[in-house]
Amino acid sequence: MLPGSFLSLSLGSSSGSSNSSAAAVGLQGLGSEAHQGGAGSEVQHEWDGSPALDRCSVQLDAILQLLWRPREVEGHHQLKLVSKKIHVIISSGTKGMDTATASKQAWPPWPPFLFLLLLPGGGSGSCPVVCDCISQPQAVICAHRQLEAVPGGLPLDTELLDLSGNRLWGLQRGMLSRLGLLQELDLSHNQLSILEPGAFHGLQSLLTLRLQGNRLRILGPGVFSGLSSLTLLDLRLNQIVLFLDGAFGELGSLQQLEVGDNHLVFVAPRAFAGLAKLGTLTLERCNLSTVPGVALARIPALVALRLRELDIERLPAGALQGLGQLKELEIHHWPSLEALDPGSLVGLNLSSLAITRCNLSSVPFQALHHLSFLRVLDLSQNPISAIPARRLSPLVRLQELRLSGACLTSIAAHAFHGLTAFHLLDVADNALQTLEETAFPSPDKLVTLRLSGNPLTCDCRLLWLLRLRHHLDFGTSPPACAGPQHVQGKNLREFSDILPPGHFTCKPALIRKSGPRWVIAEEGGHAVFSCSGDGDPAPTVSWMRPQGAWLGRAGRIRVLEDGTLEIRSVQLRDRGAYVCVVSNVAGNDSLRTWLEVIQVEPPNGTFSDPNITMPGIPRPFFLDSRGVAMVLAVGFLPFLTSVTLCFALIALWSKGKGRVKHHMTFDFVAPRPSGDKNSGGNRVTAKLF
């Protein structure tokens, strides 16, 4: 007896299990007709052309009727053919038995032929010869079989179809439309260059479509029609040059789109229109020269955007302004990107930002200052040399900063102040010689610190790190000392809690050498002050004006790298004192110098007004002929004024209080004539006013 379960698997129909069971019962009945007698006894049956064969024929017809499904025309024809062959075999067997004289068999001659004919039946449970089939889930694996076309006879209940690594060159409309239950289709690494509109029609259950590694060039409207449930589309490693408007318009459920490693040079403004649920987009290794901001603005639900290995020189202001839901932005390996425009991230509310392996020379503070919800900032593998003080304070929710593989030489004191939630710093593989405790608002809240690969000097500045070494996560490689020599190569975890003398110590800074303390320069000339100091750690040299600001490293008055103060195009206002300060963590020392400026007379002979130095700054007394003349002139004028004023006051006082006569009286007596003694002279009284 041919097992009914086996034939049920070979001939079973996807329309239900009842037909298969009925077929199995029919075949079992057929076998029971062929067997007579009890168990264990040798059964012999003579073929006499009697009603036994007719009953077998009737049972076979019943089985074929149960297996036949009117909606499957191809299967219907195959079953008819099988029925005809079976009837021919039965007839020929009957004739043979009529002519045989003494032939007796335990089995009729046709069941082996029936088995061979029914085994490759065309039902939904069959598997193409060139493929491997796996159940639960129903998967058909046809990978790397040198196929040039989609094989026929695929089970209708297939959920996963793998056709990768073959030689498929095209996909025509309706070719896979019968696989309505298909959920994952892998067509990667073929030779597909043509996808006709409607090529995936009927695949309403498809969730994942992989097309990477083909020869696709242009994607236009209608190519992905019918894929209403698709959530992942992989188009990497193709030759796509452009995305036309509406290329993805019917993928309303798509959540992840991979389009890297293409020749992409242009994205139409409405290419991404219709991607209402797209959350992740990756654009990498293509020929885009600008960020397609207008097209990206058509993706309202975009959460993660990855722009990798692109030859784009700048991210212009407002380029990503339409992505209000974007939380993660990755910009990786843009060799031409040297700075971020101040408004390049306007409109974004990011929680994670990675700008790695670019050419940024400094942290783009102006472009980042409005990202108050930013939690992770990754600027690794950029030539950034320093982190200044308090410039990151607007990022109040920042928790993690990664700057590994950069060119950091210094992290200023108070560099991370204002970051109350800060707990991870990765500055591995840089050029840091130290990391001071004052850089952090709360060093005890630091959880992870990656410092390996830095030439650290283990002096008093790292005592705080030694104290917290058992509580910090240093990663796989703890930081090690590059100096002093007696601790060189020793990592921080190897030190004991009680340090030997001379370990982790510092010497205060002292000025050892300096140039002239009095420098005279002509107006428009050049002046240089030198100053240097010793200490452990090596001190820094800076210059300032008394009661003034510190002098920087740029401009007409600047401090050079070796600590020299240089003043170019000397002006009269530069006259005065300059203070050199050498300092390290253990102390500081200072020295005051003086600059005298000689004024040069202009060609017209006039003198410009002299500038007076800043108040409170002592200066030497310097007097020439011009100064003497000015002093005399200034002294004579007050003297003359005071004398005139005194005379005026005396006159007024004399008029009001003095005893001054306004007239005088005198008598005049005329002389007597000679010889006249008795005659007296005439008396005349006169008044003079």
Q: Which residues of 79-93 are buried (b: 16+ CB within 10 A; e: fewer)?
A: beebbeebeebbeeb
Q: Which of 194-198, 315-319, 326-330, 607-611 has the lowest mean pLDDT?
A: 607-611
Closest CA to 86 of 101, 64, 106: 64
* pLDDT score recorded for residue 600: 83
pLDDT single digits (tens) 299-308: 999 999 999 9
Contact 184, 161 (CB under 8 A): yes
To the nearest 10 degrees (0 to 180), the angle between helices 4-11 and 111-118 is 40
Residue 413 or 10, more confident: 413
DSSP state of 363: -
| Cis before 221? omega within 30 | no
Length of the chain measured in residues = 689
Count CB neighbours of 446 within 10 A. Answer: 19
Residues of the chain with pLDDT > 90, as a percent, come to: 52
Contact 263, 287 (CB under 8 A): yes
pLDDT exceeds cutoff 70 at 29? no
* pLDDT score recorded for residue 375: 98
* pLDDT score recorded for residue 214: 96
User: Mean pLDDT, to the nearest integer, of 407-427?
Assistant: 95
DSSP state of 88: H
* pLDDT score recorded for residue 507: 87
pLDDT exceeds cutoff 70 at 617? no
Tokens of 18: 């009842």
How far apart are the C-alpha atoms of 312 and 309, rounded to whole Å? Answer: 9
* pLDDT score recorded for residue 137: 78
Chain position carrying tokens 């971020």: 340
User: Mean pLDDT, to the nearest integer, of 524-532?
Assistant: 92
Contact 223, 197 (CB under 8 A): yes
Cα dihedral: 463, 464, 465, 466 (round 10): 50
* pLDDT score recorded for residue 53: 41
Q: Give the three-state DSSP class for 356.
A: strand
DSSP state of 437: G
Beta pairing partners, 557:
567
Specify the DSSP element, H or E, that contains 256.
strand 256-258
Specify the DSSP element, H or E, that contains 518.
strand 518-522
Contact 414, 442 (CB under 8 A): no
Mean pLDDT, all residues of the chain: 78
User: Mean pLDDT, to the nearest integer, of 577-587?
Assistant: 89
pLDDT single digits (tens) 77-90: 343 433 444 443 33
